[in-house]
A and B are shown apart, each in its own frame.
Chain A
Amino acid sequence: MLSYVARRLLFVLLTLLLSSLVIFGVTQLLPGDVATMILGRFATPEALARLRGELGLDRPLYVQYWDWLWRFVKGDWGTSLATGTAIQPWVMERLRNSAMLAGVGLVMSVPLAVVLGVVAAMKRDSWLDHVISVFSLALVGLPEFVTGLVFIGVLALGLKWLPASSAIEPDAGFFDALPKLILPGLTITLVMLAYVARMTRSGTIEVLKTDYIRTAYLKGLPAHEVILNHVLRNALLPTVTIIAISIGWLIGGLIVTESVFGYPGLGRLLLYSIQHRDLPLLQAVSMLVVAIYSLANLLADVVYAYLNPRIRLS
């Protein structure tokens, strides 16, 4: 098991190194010029040249890359071109916010999705199964900016149950922020729901067909014991993997949801850095998001291996 994890970890490091090359390369290809962005369309050429020199943008690319990567590894993520302030604490604050939202999203979506998936599998091909499948698929087809705005319109502006904007205070604790996390959490839930529920359903159906489940029923175990002790443990294996992988998306990829609700997370920070050509910020956030995705995949692999002896012992 340990050597398995070590091997996977090595792959993660390799992924990160390759990603750093790609991220650095792509940020060089972004249209537009940082100096023009900062100084405006009518700046003099002298001023632009001076600023490019100050930002080190006139050095050869490989020097810029190596300098950036080395300082990034050491934990010096540089300063934002926009504000001149250190990037790391800023990004870390957004990471904390993103983690809070991801946590709320998971807590809201996973239990519901698993229950729906199991119910659909148990009542396979019944009207209930069809209703669950059609609804969850229809909902996953709706983009987040639609569901988000509907939630805002109905639950926030109409019924006034929850705040319309999720712009939490910078120093808000989890429980202060919680009311503002529910609407974006619901929006995430709709996306996650179909995904996780369908995975659970097909996993459960597979297991229900096996001989050991038939045996369990034949030896007279009550249905709830069969489900809890024998079906779920085996059926949820693929579901757990899916959930672990989606953590990467939940923390680093919620650009649309965060923008709709004005939530200060990593996704919106990434969007800002692209729109405002803040390259150091863009590079730092992208690296962090890649790292989160890689670690989420690693987590999925490890959890899968832990639950599945065939992998763990091979």
Chain B
Amino acid sequence: MSDREQLGEPIYPGQNGRLSRRALIKGLMMLGLSAGTASALAACVQPTAPAAPTAAGASGPAATTPASAATAGAAKKGGTLRRGWQPPTQLDPALQATSTEIAACAQMYDWLVWIDEKNQPSKALAESWGSNKEGTQWTFALRQGVTFHSGKALTAEDVVFTFNRLRDKSIGAATASLYENIKDVKAVDGKNVQFVLAKANPELPADLGDYHAAIVASDTKDFKTTYNGTGPFILEKFSPEDRATFKRNPNYWLSDLPYLDGIQDIYSPQQSAQVEALRGGQLDVVMGLGAELAETLKKEGKTTILQGRPNMHFALHMRSDRKPGSDPKVRQALKAATDRSAILKAARLGYGVAGRDTPISPVFGDYYLDVPEPKRDVAKARQLLKEAGYDSLNIQLTAQNSFDVPKIAVVWKEQLAEAGVNVDIKVVPPDVYYQDDGWLQVDFGITEWALRATPQPYLQLAYKTGAKWNESHFSDAELDQLADQAASELDRAKRAELYKQIQQIFIDRGPIIVPYFETTIAATNPKVKGLVVHADFPRSTMRSVFIEG
């Protein structure tokens, strides 16, 4: 079964264990069928389902104006949605760091380009865009008639202000380096914004969709007390240790949306307490659940469990500039001894997609090299080790004590033992793992890598020769060259071809083992409808969510 089929499994639990109509449509859409075809097919499977309106429209953020009309018939207006999150530090969009902060900003703000729940750039405040032949000058045309919560109309000036702030090194935003390639941002007129780049960047729209790049009003003075966005919800009250209260934006640019009257993000440090509150009916949504908690809730059967698309991955890096990882045969031997699906099952209870030892998952669409999961082959592993001159091998794996990393380490150790490799696991707290660049020094380590909108950042940050976070100290002339080529290739089909070649290099001689990409788990009160979990789950928009009955 390929990954794409796996994703087509019922994401929404259907009645009597059957595929729900919506899950089916979603699955079919992921197979690349158009919404119309998918819904027609779904109608064939479940002839009793009402023919219109299509539930496909509920897949939220990507869908813009027409989608809202499609869901309006089924959706119920009103109500307050209560979500559980851990306490945030602050809500300045340029400085968002934690899930809670991203989850709050995703409701208050809009983006020029919205990275949709399938991780693809889609229209938002920009209605259309294009570049010159060289890909060095991009123009974005703004949607008209959009207003900020303060009533101020959105103009090109606001966009220029936003990106100049994000580029300003003294603000401290993580985007300063992401946007280093931008030479100038200017308002052509009230409606059009132009980005002038130092060198071509075919993925500029995706980069502008970075979660920090929420469009703010140009008259904002203090970002700690003013949250003036164009988003579907307006912040009413914010106490970072208790809750944030949002009310509906009545002038939201997608007419009819949002459905909810308001949102309350209720903060508590313990996820177990949030889950208790969900079970007790004092919360409606908890996102980013651990797999064990999700399984407990699933068995209980009183909550709806939703899954997002493949999100972050765990890279088990093998340092490639010194022994033993410097020998590609050793790296391939360790890969051959690894059973990725077994790790996924043991460490994450199957909530994820097995990896192919590349940082690129099926969520990257046409960039993804769709090959079967490599089969575990212990004999081949022993053979390769022998060829490399090892009868047995002792290695030390540094594992940070967060996420499911220690579990991954333990299962891997057992698998490797069968191939004659003794893995000594050293578990350290995450701040120790990252402290003083320790993670960049160790021979074998497990690092979590957040989801990006395009494959390029992974290559630029971690796999090109001399890259800043090249934890495996990997250096491969062919990969370097292909990565640079992909970075400036304007033709998407050719770019996809380059990314596929790069993934083949990872598979043949790359420095990482990727046991799995985890899928985000959300649990909701069964009355909550229309929630689509974003690939980067905190970015899930609540504008299409409604509470039934």
Chain A interface (Cβ < 8 Å from any Cβ of B): 37-44, 46-48, 50-51, 80, 82-85, 90, 149, 152, 156-157, 160, 163-165, 167, 170, 259-260, 262, 264, 268-269, 271-273, 275-276
Decide: A84 and B241 in contact? CB cutoff 8 A. no
A38–B90 CB distance below 8 A? yes
| A90–B237 alpha-carbon span in the complex (Å) | 11
Query: Which partner residue on chain B sits nearest A268 by CB separation?
Result: B241
Cβ-defined contact, A170 with B169, below 8 A: no
- Contact partners of A38 in chain B: CB under 8 A: 89-90, 95, 172
- Max chain B Cβ within 10 angstroms of own Cβ: one of A163, A167, A275: A167
User: With A262-B273, A264-B241, A272-B241 in contact, is A165–B172 under 8 Å at CB?
Assistant: no
User: Known contacts being A157-B276, A167-B266, A167-B282, is A41 close to B434, with CB within 8 Å?
Assistant: yes
Report chain A residues within 8 Å CB of B225: 83-85
A275 CB to closest chain B CB, in angstroms? Answer: 8
Q: List 14 A-B contacts (CB under 8 A).
A: A37-B89, A38-B89, A42-B174, A44-B169, A47-B171, A82-B88, A83-B238, A157-B276, A165-B280, A262-B268, A264-B241, A275-B87, A276-B87, A276-B89
Q: Which residues of B contact A (CB under 8 A)?
A: 87-91, 95, 97, 169-172, 174, 176, 222, 224-225, 237-243, 245, 266, 268-270, 273, 276-277, 279-283, 434
Contact partner of A165 (CB less than 8 A), chosen from B87, B239, B276, is: B276
User: Is the CB–CB distance between A165 and B238 below 8 Å?
Assistant: no
Assuming A44-B169, A164-B279, A272-B240, is B90 touching A83 (CB within 8 A)? yes
Q: How far is the CA of A7 from the CA of B90 in the complex (A)?
A: 45
Closest to A270 in B: B241
Q: Chain A nearest CB: distance from B245 CB in Å?
A: 8
Q: How many angstroms from the CA of A282 to the CA of B269 in the assembled complex?
A: 17
Give CA–CA (A84, B220) in the complex, Å: 14
Taking the closest CB of chain A, its distance from the CB of B89, in whole angstroms, is 5
**Nearest A residue to B238 by beta-carbon distance?**
A83
Contacts A40-B97, A262-B266 known; 8 new A-B pairs at CB < 8 A = A82-B89, A83-B90, A83-B224, A85-B238, A152-B276, A152-B280, A260-B273, A264-B241
Shortest beta-carbon contacts, A-B, top 6: A164-B280, A84-B224, A47-B172, A272-B241, A165-B277, A39-B172
- The answer to whether B239 and A90 touch across the interface, beta carbons within 8 angstroms, is yes
Complex Cα distance A268/B269, Å?
Answer: 10
Q: Which residues on the B side are within 8 Å of A167 (C-beta)?
A: 242-243, 266, 268, 277, 282
In the complex, chain B residues whose CB is within 8 Å of the CB of A156:
276, 280
Main SS class of interface, B: loop
Is the Cβ of A165 less than 8 Å from the Cβ of B282? Answer: yes
Q: With A50-B170, A165-B273, A170-B243 as known contacts, state yes or no: A157 contacts B222, CB within 8 Å.
A: no
A-B pair number, CB within 8 angstroms: 112
Chain A nearest CB: distance from B538 CB in Å?
15
Nearest opposing residue in chain B for A164, CB measure:
B280
Residues of A within 8 Å of B224, CB to CB, are 83-85
Residues of chain B within 8 A of A46, CB atoms compared: 169-170
In Å, the complex CA distance between A82 and B244 comes to 13
| Nearest-neighbor residue (CB-CB) of A80 within chain B | B240
Q: A262 is contacted by which of B170, B222, B277, B279 (Cβ under 8 Å)?
A: B277
Q: Give Cα A40 to B237, complex, Å.
A: 24
A51 and B90: CB pair below 8 A?
A: no
> Contact between A83 and B276 (Cβ–Cβ < 8 Å)?
no
Q: Tell me the complex Cα distance, A83–B242, Å.
A: 13
Contacts of B90 in A (CB 8 A): 38, 82-83
In the complex, which residues of chain B have a beta carbon less than 8 angstroms from the beta carbon of A42? Answer: 174
**A47-B170, A167-B282, A170-B239 are known contacts. Are A259 and B270 too (CB-CB below 8 A)?**
yes
Closest to A148 in B: B273
Chain B residue contacts of A44, Cβ below 8 A: 169-170, 172, 176
Distance, CA A98 to CA B276, complexed state (A): 22
In the docked arrangement, what's the CA distance between A175 and B280, Å?
21
- Given A40-B95, A51-B172, A83-B240: A157 in contact with B279 (beta carbons within 8 A): yes
State in angstroms the CA–CA spacing of A82 and B270 once bound together: 20
A156 to B270, CA, bound (A): 18
Bound complex: CA A80 to CA B169 (Å): 24
Given contacts A84-B224, A167-B266, whether A264 and B239 have CB atoms under 8 Å apart is yes
CA distance A41 to B437 in the complex (A): 12
A160 to B89, CA, bound (A): 34
Contact residues in A for B277 (Cβ distance below 8 Å): 164-165, 167, 262
Q: Using Cβ atoms and an 8 Å threshold, which residues of chain B touch A90? A: 239
Inter-chain contacts of A85 with B (CB < 8 A) = 224-225, 238
Chain B's closest residue to A273 (CB) is B241
The answer to whether A43 and B239 have CB atoms under 8 Å apart is no
> Shortest beta-carbon distance, A146 to chain B, in Å?
13
Residue of A nearest to B98 (CB): A40
Minimum C-beta distance from A52 to chain B (A): 11
B245: chain A residues within 8 A (beta carbon): 170
Chain A nearest CB, measured from B80 CB (Å): 11
Query: Pick the contact of A164 from B222, B240, B243, B282 — CB < 8 Å?
Result: B282
Give the residues in chain A near B97, CB-CB below 8 Å: 40
CB distance from B211 to the nearest CB of A (A): 13
Name the CB-closest residue of B to A160: B280
- A38-B89, A167-B243, A259-B269 as given contacts; A157 in contact with B280, CB under 8 Å: yes
Q: Do the beta carbons of A170 and B237 come within 8 Å of each other?
A: yes
B240 touching A43, Cβ below 8 Å = no
Taken together as a complex, chains A and B put the C-alpha atoms of A39 and B280 apart, in Å, by 36
Residues of B within 8 A of A165 (CB): 266, 268, 273, 276-277, 280, 282-283
How distant is the Cα of A275 from the Cα of B273 in the complex, in angstroms?
Answer: 18
Tell me which residues across on chain A come within 8 A of B95, comparing CB atoms.
38-40
Residue of A nearest to B279 (CB): A157
- Residues in B with CB closer than 8 Å to A273 are 241
How far apart are A281's CB and chain B's nearest CB, in angstroms? Answer: 9
In this complex, what residue of B is CB-closest to A37?
B89
Q: How far is the CA of A38 from the CA of B90 in the complex (A)?
A: 7
Contacts of B268 in A (CB 8 A): 165, 167, 259, 262
Residues of B near A82 (CB, < 8 A) are 88-90, 240
Q: Chain A's nearest CB lies how many Å from the CB of B293?
A: 14
Determine the residue in chain A with the shortest Cβ distance to B272.
A149
- B residues less than 8 Å from A40 (CB atoms): 95, 97, 172, 174
Q: How far is the CB of A271 from chain B (nearest CB, A)?
A: 8
B172 touches A84 (CB 8 A): no
Smallest distance from the beta carbon of B231 to chain A beta carbons, Å? 19
A275 to B241 Cα, complex, angstroms? 10
Known: A38-B95, A157-B276, A164-B276. A269 touches B241 (CB 8 A): yes
B residues in contact with A275, CB < 8 Å: 87, 269
Query: Which residues of chain B are near A170, meaning CB under 8 Å?
Result: 237, 239, 242-243, 245
C-alpha gap A13/B90 in the complex (Å): 35
Please state if A264 and B242 are interface contacts (CB–CB under 8 Å). yes
Contacts of B174 in A (CB 8 A): 40, 42-43
Closest A residue to B94 by beta carbon equals A39
A contact residues around B240 at 8 Å (CB): 80, 82-83, 272, 276
With A and B bound together, what is the CA distance between A170 and B350 in angstroms?
A: 40
What CA separation (Å) do A47 and B169 show in the bound complex?
A: 7
Residues of A within 8 A of B269 (CB): 259, 271, 275
When chains A and B are docked, how far (Å) is the Cα of A282 from the Cα of B87? 16
Distance between Cα atoms of A83 and B245 in the complex (Å): 14
Most buried by B among A85, A149, A160: A85
Bound CA–CA A47/B165 (angstroms): 13
Complex Cα–Cα for A272 and B176 (A): 29
Q: Nearest-CB distance from B363 to chain A (Å)?
A: 24
Give chain A nearest CB distance to B91 CB in angstroms. 8
Min C-beta distance of B86 to chain A, whole Å? 10
